[in-house]
Amino acid sequence: MSNPAAKYTDEFRRETADYIISTGRPITECCAELGLNSKTVNKWVQNRRRELAGGPDPKAEDRELREAKRRIRELEMENAFLKKAAAFFAKSQA
């Protein structure tokens, strides 16, 4: 049975993912054999496949997405303010 508070080294994660990828066996089967949580190991395997494929770092993508969403919110607020200011000045000139 898996330990919920277990901490695994990067090397262990990489080796476990490589083992699963190289054998081609189902993750759940390997996890039962190794006594690991299949959801956790599935993440390791996905990350390792991305590394091997030369794909982007998911954490970096998440960071960029959060930053882009924050910037969009700022620009929407600025745009709303400018619309109100334009309406105010148009009203005062009429």
Q: Is-above-0.85 flag for pTM?
A: no
State the first-to-last Cα distance of the chain, in angstroms, to the nearest integer: 77
CA distance 19 to 16: 5
C-alpha gyration radius of the chain: 24
Question: For 32-71, what is each residue's pLDDT tens digit?
Answer: 998 999 999 999 999 999 888 876 677 888 899 999 999 9
- What would the two tokens of residue 2 be? 């898996």
CATH code of 30's domain: 1.10.10
Domains of the chain: total: 2
pLDDT tens-digit map of 69-90: 999 999 999 999 999 999 999 9
Residues 37 and 2 in one domain: yes
Q: Which residues have a Cβ under 8 Å from the Cβ of 83 and sit 6 or more positions away?
A: none
Alpha-carbon distance values, 42 to 5, 21, 29, 78 (Å): 17, 11, 12, 42
Same-domain status, 72 and 45: no
